[in-house]
């Protein structure tokens, strides 16, 4: 997902929606016939739980969000995420190609031209400039690409995208594809919220900023109303049954994603 877009046109996002074809999400059925929310909750297998919730936190006391990103950043970020307060929701993903520090999955481009080329390659677009976009996560390849001179905070933001299953749903599902601006706002808002929250509350790094302050504010209010656990399950695992329950949905008729997006649009 492109981040830190300074203009609010969604050309990049829409291009992305049009061009993306990543492998289907292995965990989540996008279409399921009528069932009770409570049944679905019972049927779900638990996913991405760590055996021990107490992974030792890396020392990030000398790290600032505005430090230059470097070849050391992915290892630091991977360790920081694994020891973060939300680790139980995604730690199972941070291995093999899913790790932030996996080989050839994290790139700080040498020049802007290379960055634009990588973006086009990921999303099947042919844009010539990407002013305002500082980085993106490509779900199809599990790669993070950053602009030259990228900062640690930007790398962290893209890494949080990588921990999320929402982005894949947004790319692959018609109910989401029909609402590209809303999909963008909720995905970036939650990514921004979790990036800032982890850096501040887990690591006392208090100078994280991005271009999504307004979406982040909406995300914070949304989480406050509908629950930390419910929203985290939705964002990190695309397990949206707990959230639907909070919305008062007790049985599903029709496409679950359509119902979900419609409810989210009123709630977020
Ligand atoms: Zn982003």
Output the CA 176–ligand 1 centroid distance in Å.
16
Distance, CA of 158 to CA of 1 (rounded, Å): 8
Output the CA 251–ligand 1 centroid distance in Å.
33
The whole domain housing 60 covers: 11-267
Output the CA 164–ligand 1 centroid distance in Å.
11
Output the CA 195–ligand 1 centroid distance in Å.
10
Q: Structurally, how many domains does the chain consist of?
A: 1
Output the CA 253–ligand 1 centroid distance in Å.
32
Q: Residue for token digits 């481009």?
A: 109
Output the CA 37–ligand 1 centroid distance in Å.
30
Structure tokens at 80: 């920081």
Output the CA 56–ligand 1 centroid distance in Å.
27
Does a structural domain hold residue 196?
yes
Across the chain, which has 268 residues, the per-10-residue mean pLDDT values are 45 40 40 47 49 78 97 98 98 97 98 98 96 94 97 98 93 93 97 98 98 98 98 97 93 90 97
Q: Residue for token digits 């695309």?
A: 238
Chain mean position to CA 42: 26
Does a structural domain hold residue 257?
yes
Residue 193 makes CB contacts below 8 A (sequence gap 6+) with 216, 219, 220, 223
Output the CA 213–ligand 1 centroid distance in Å.
12
Closest CA to 113 of 149, 147, 141: 147
Output the CA 83–ligand 1 centroid distance in Å.
21
Helix (H) or strand (E) holding 145: strand 143-146
Output the CA 158–ligand 1 centroid distance in Å.
6
Distance, CA of 25 to CA of 93 (rounded, Å): 13
Does a structural domain hold residue 254?
yes
Output the CA 250–ligand 1 centroid distance in Å.
32
Does a structural domain hold residue 3?
no
Does a structural domain hold residue 57?
yes
Does a structural domain hold residue 1?
no
DSSP 91: G
Output the CA 153–ligand 1 centroid distance in Å.
11
Closest CA to 233 of 225, 241, 221, 224: 241
Structure tokens at 34: 């009528």
Q: What is the pTM of this model?
A: 0.82
Q: What is the pLDDT of residue 1?
A: 52
Output the CA 11–ligand 1 centroid distance in Å.
14
Output the CA 159–ligand 1 centroid distance in Å.
9
Q: What is the pLDDT of residue 167?
A: 87
Q: What is the pLDDT of residue 15?
A: 39
Q: What is the pLDDT of residue 3?
A: 52
Q: What is the pLDDT of residue 18?
A: 39
């Amino acid at each position: 997902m492109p981040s830190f877009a300074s203009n609010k046109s969604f050309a990049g996002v829409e291009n992305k929606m049009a061009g993306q074809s990543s492998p289907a999400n292995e965990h989540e059925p996008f279409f399921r016939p009528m069932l009770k929310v409570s049944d679905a909750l019972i049927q779900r297998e638990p996913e991405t739980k760590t055996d021990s919730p107490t992974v030792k936190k890396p020392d990030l006391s000398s790290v600032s969000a505005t430090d230059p990103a470097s070849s050391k950043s992915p290892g630091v970020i991977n360790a920081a995420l694994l020891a973060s307060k939300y680790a139980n929701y995604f730690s199972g993903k941070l291995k093999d190609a899913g790790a932030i520090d996996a080989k050839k999955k994290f790139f700080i481009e040498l020049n802007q031209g290379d960055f634009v080329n990588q973006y086009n390659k990921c999303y099947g677009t042919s844009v010539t400039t990407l002013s305002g976009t500082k980085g993106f996560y490509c779900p199809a390849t599990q790669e993070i690409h950053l602009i030259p001179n990228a900062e640690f905070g930007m790398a962290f933001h893209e890494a949080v995208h990588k921990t999320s299953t929402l982005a894949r749903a947004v790319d692959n599902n018609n109910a989401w594809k029909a609402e590209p601006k809303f999909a963008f706002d909720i995905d970036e808002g939650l990514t921004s919220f979790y990036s800032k929250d982890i850096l501040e509350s887990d690591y006392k790094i208090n100078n994280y900023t991005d271009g999504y302050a307004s979406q982040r504010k909406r995300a914070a209010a949304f989480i406050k109303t509908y629950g930390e656990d419910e929203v985290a399950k939705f964002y990190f695992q695309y397990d949206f049954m707990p959230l639907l329950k909070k919305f008062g949905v007790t049985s599903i008729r029709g496409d679950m994603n359509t119902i979900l997006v419609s409810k989210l649009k009123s709630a977020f």
